[in-house]
A and B are shown apart, each in its own frame.
Chain A
Amino acid sequence: MITIKKISKSFDDIKIIDEISAVFDKGKTNLIIGQSGSGKTVLMKCLLGLLDIDNGEILYDGKKFDKDNISTISNLRKQIGMVFQGSALFDSMTVLENIIFPLRMFSDNSDSEMITRAREVIKRVDLKDVDNKFPSEISGGMKKRVAIARAIVLNPKYLFCDEPNSGLDPKTAIIIDKLIQEITVEYNITTVVNTHDMNSVMEIGDKIIFLVDGKKIWEGTNHEILNTDDEMINDFVYSSELFKKVKLTQQKSKDLS
Chain B
Amino acid sequence: MIKYTFTKFTKWSVLKKLIFQEIDDLIIGSIGIVAFMSFLIGGVVAIQTALAIDNPLLPGNLIGFATRQSVVLEFAPTLISIIMAGKVGSFITSSIGTMRVTEQIDALEVMGINSFNYLIFPKIISLLLYPFLITLAMFLGILGGYIASVYAGFSTSFDFIQGIQLDFKVFHIVYSYIKTILFAFVLATIPSYHGFFMKGGALEVGKASNISFVWTSSVIIIINFIVTQLLLA
Contacts and interface: CB of A to CB of B under 8 A. Distances in A.
Contact of B103 (A88, A105, A106): A88
A77 B111 contact: yes
Interface in B117-148: none
B107 A84 contact: yes
Contacts of A91: 98-99, 102, 104
Interface string A145-180: 000000000000000100000000000000000000
A84 to B, nearest CB: 5
Nearest to B106: A50
B8 A105 contact: no
B112 A74 contact: yes
B103 A86 contact: yes
Interface string A93-104: 000000001101
Given A50-B110, A77-B112, A105 B11 contact: yes
Nearest to A98: B107
A90 B112 contact: no
A104 B11 CA distance: 9
A74 B8 CA distance: 10
A73 B102 contact: no
A244 B176 CA distance: 75
B197 to A, nearest CB: 14
A121 to B, nearest CB: 15
A48 B103 CA distance: 14
A70 B111 contact: no
A105 B10 contact: yes
B113 interface: yes
A73 B104 contact: no
A88 B104 contact: yes
Nearest to A85: B103
Nearest to A162: B103
A55 B98 CA distance: 32
Contacts of B103: 84-86, 88
Interface string A34-46: 0000000000000
Interface of A: 48-50, 70, 73-74, 76-78, 80, 82, 84-86, 88-91, 101-102, 104-106, 160
Interface of B: 8, 10-11, 13-14, 98-99, 102-104, 106-107, 109-113
Closest 5 A/B residue pairs (Cβ): A77-B112, A88-B103, A88-B107, A82-B110, A84-B103
25 contacts: A48-B110, A50-B106, A50-B109, A50-B110, A70-B8, A74-B112, A80-B111, A80-B112, A82-B111, A85-B103, A86-B102, A88-B103, A88-B104, A88-B107, A89-B104, A90-B104, A90-B107, A91-B99, A91-B104, A101-B111, A102-B111, A104-B11, A104-B14, A105-B10, A106-B111
